[in-house]
């Protein structure tokens, strides 16, 4: 086919018409290939000009190149229009009506079971006139042990039991350090509780390396073991049930004299024995006693004038029992599937 001016103009017109008619990007690509591709019509014209005479060759060559540029331009414009159309369609289809109410109720979080038990405990003691005290979790040996009469060779001081940090301090293994910090330099009467985290080398379904205790102590001029029992009974009734039964077993703590371990009657089996109370009918609740005179003296308090009681108990086990959680580790692993059920 002889490449001529007419031929080129016709080609260009045809191309423009087809481009305008291309309804999709795919169709447009095909039209472009048909005119501008390696085997396309314009390339064919360009190949044919080799056979033309010199002056005609230059003219047709020029015309063919400008036709090529024009077609390219029209293709680009059409591509932009098609892309715009596609984007508008997508945006139209994906349009969000932000005024519509949500399909799902927003899910509110709730307090951790341990926090709930803590708050319940604190509420009881503040209603009895106790104030809340805090102490450091990284504590000196003096406040955790020495001032509490815990001798150097006592197993609680062992690295097997206590997490030591540099400089001879340790993560406190109990909240009893707060007794020393609170009493030193003050004059009785005192009524305090100290809720907080404590740390020990332990891991099992019933023990976790970090757990929570609440410590309580009261010092005044005529305090007896009967006061201690009265307060703990009222506490048990508030926390668990009006029918709670308490049992005090003789025990030894270096910082109290006399000392007792207290248990409460298992509420699930009514003391008949079940899996929760290891078939004993009783559940261990904590330690307590009358503050050792030496401890009072260590804090600068005259033990001939003042006496006091103290107690300390684990908080997590109460949360486990109250919410029916079988393993203490489930409390602290942050698994929402567990915590959401509580
Ligand atoms: N500190 C003891 C422990 O962690 C608990 C305890 C026992 C605290 C007797 C006291 C107490 O204040 O009087 O096992």
**CATH code at position 244:** 3.30.930.10
Q: Which of the pair, 292 or 204, is modelled with greater confidence?
A: 292
195, 118 in Cβ contact below 8 A? yes
Going by pLDDT thresholds of 50, 70 and 90, the confidence category of residue 114 is very high
Q: What CA–CA distances, in Å, run from 261 to 10, 71, 240, 249?
A: 106, 96, 18, 5
pTM attached to this predicted model:
0.70
Q: Same domain, yes or no, for 54 and 124?
A: no
Residue 184 in domain: yes
Tell me how far apart the alpha carbons of residues 336 and 119 are, in angstroms, rounded to a whole number: 21
Q: Whose CA is nearest to atom 4 of ligand 1?
A: 174
Q: Same domain, yes or no, for 78 and 129?
A: no
For residue 217, give the ligand 1 atom closest to its CA.
12
Q: Over 80: is that where the pLDDT of 2 sits?
A: no
Q: What is the mean pLDDT of residues 307-313?
A: 97
- Token output for 256: 């109290």
Q: Over 60: is that where the pLDDT of 3 sits?
A: no
Residue 248 in domain: yes
- pLDDT tens digits for range 193-224: 999 999 999 888 888 999 999 999 999 999 99
Q: Same domain, yes or no, for 188 and 77?
A: no
Q: Same domain, yes or no, for 127 and 28?
A: no
Give phi and psi for 62, each to the nearest 5: -60, -45
Rg (CA), the chain: 43
- Range of lowest pLDDT (54-68, 168-182, 280-294): 54-68
Q: Over 60: is that where the pLDDT of 47 sits?
A: yes
Q: Ligand 1 centre from 116 Cα, in Å?
A: 22
Q: What is the mean pLDDT of residues 25-49?
A: 88
Residue 103 in domain: no
Q: What is the mean pLDDT of residues 286-295?
A: 98
**Which pLDDT does position 337 carry in this prediction?**
87
Q: Whose CA is nearest to atom 7 of ligand 1?
A: 287
Q: Whose CA is nearest to atom 8 of ligand 1?
A: 312
Q: Ligand 1 centre from 324 Cα, in Å?
A: 25
Q: What is the mean pLDDT of residues 250-266?
A: 96
Percent of residues, the chain, with pLDDT higher than 90: 65
Ligand 1 binding pocket, CB closer than 6 Å: 174, 176, 215, 253, 256, 287-289, 310-312
Q: Ligand 1 centre from 107 Cα, in Å?
A: 40
Q: What is the mean pLDDT of residues 231-239?
A: 96
Q: Which one-letter DSSP state was computed for residue 97?
A: -
Q: Same domain, yes or no, for 85 and 124?
A: no
Q: Which domain holds residue 34?
A: 5-94
Q: Which residues pair with 9 in a beta bridge?
A: none
- Token output for 334: 């942050």
For residue 256, give the ligand 1 atom closest to its CA.
13
**Which pLDDT does position 277 carry in this prediction?**
87
Last residue of a domain, one of 36, 66, 94: 94
Q: Ligand 1 centre from 51 Cα, in Å?
A: 109
Q: Same domain, yes or no, for 123 and 83?
A: no
Q: Ligand 1 centre from 280 Cα, in Å?
A: 23
Q: Same domain, yes or no, for 207 and 255?
A: yes
61, 5 in Cβ contact below 8 A? no
Place of tokens 């086919």: 1
Q: Over 60: is that where the pLDDT of 294 sits?
A: yes
Last residue of a domain, one of 61, 94, 127: 94
- Range of lowest pLDDT (165-179, 192-206, 322-336): 322-336
Q: Same domain, yes or no, for 84 and 121?
A: no
**Which pLDDT does position 1 carry in this prediction?**
42
**Which pLDDT does position 5 carry in this prediction?**
66
- Token output for 314: 């684990």
Place of tokens 């006061």: 227
Residue 295 in domain: yes
Pocket test for ligand 1, best of 218, 311, 314 (most atoms within 8 A of CB): 311
- Range of lowest pLDDT (44-58, 98-112, 165-179, 307-321): 44-58
Q: Over 50: is that where the pLDDT of 4 sits?
A: yes
Q: Over 70: is that where the pLDDT of 329 sits?
A: yes
Q: Same domain, yes or no, for 220 and 176?
A: yes
Tell me how far apart the alpha carbons of residues 212 and 235 are, in angstroms, rounded to a whole number: 17
Q: Same domain, yes or no, for 152 and 65?
A: no
Last residue of a domain, one of 45, 65, 94: 94
Q: Same domain, yes or no, for 82 and 118?
A: no
Residue 108 in domain: no
Q: How many domains does the chain have?
A: 2
Q: Same domain, yes or no, for 189 and 326?
A: yes
Q: Ligand 1 centre from 130 Cα, in Å?
A: 18
Residue 155 in domain: yes
On average, the pLDDT of the chain sits at 92
Residue 26 in domain: yes
């Amino acid at each position: 086919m002889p490449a001529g001016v007419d031929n080129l103009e016709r080609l260009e017109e045809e191309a423009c018409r087809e481009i305008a008619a291309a309804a999709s990007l795919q169709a447009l690509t095909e039209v472009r290939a048909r005119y501008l591709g390696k085997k396309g019509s314009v390339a064919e014209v360009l190949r044919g000009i080799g056979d033309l005479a010199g002056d005609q060759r230059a003219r047709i060559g020029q015309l063919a190149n400008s036709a090529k540029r024009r077609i390219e331009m029209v293709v680009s414009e059409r591509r932009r229009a098609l892309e715009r159309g596609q984007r508008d369609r997508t945006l139209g289809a994906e349009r969000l009506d932000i005024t519509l109410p949500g399909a799902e109720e927003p899910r509110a979080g709730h307090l951790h079971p341990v926090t709930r038990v803590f708050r319940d405990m604190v509420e009881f003691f503040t209603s009895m006139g106790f104030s809340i005290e805090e102490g450091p979790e990284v504590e000196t040996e003096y406040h955790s042990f020495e001032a509490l009469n815990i001798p150097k060779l006592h197993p609680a001081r062992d690295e097997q039991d206590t997490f030591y940090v540099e400089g001879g301090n340790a993560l406190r293994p109990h909240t009893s350090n707060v007794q020393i910090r609170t009493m030193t330099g003050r004059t009785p009467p005192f009524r305090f509780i100290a809720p907080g985290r404590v740390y020990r080398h332990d891991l099992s379904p019933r023990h976790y390396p970090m757990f929570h205790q609440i410590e309580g102590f009261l010092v005044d001029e005529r305090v007896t073991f009967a006061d201690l029992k009265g307060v703990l009974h009222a506490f048990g009734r508030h926390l668990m049930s009006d029918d709670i039964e308490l049992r005090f077993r003789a025990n030894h703590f270096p910082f109290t004299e006399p000392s007792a371990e207290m248990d409460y009657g298992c509420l699930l089996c009514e003391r008949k024995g079940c899996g929760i109370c290891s078939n004993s009918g009783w559940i261990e609740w904590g330690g307590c006693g009358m503050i050792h005179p030496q401890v009072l003296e260590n804090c600068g308090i005259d033990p001939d004038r003042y006496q006091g009681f103290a107690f300390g108990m684990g908080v997590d086990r109460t949360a486990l029992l109250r919410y029916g959680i079988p393993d203490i580790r489930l409390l602290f692993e942050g698994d929402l599937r567990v915590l959401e059920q509580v």
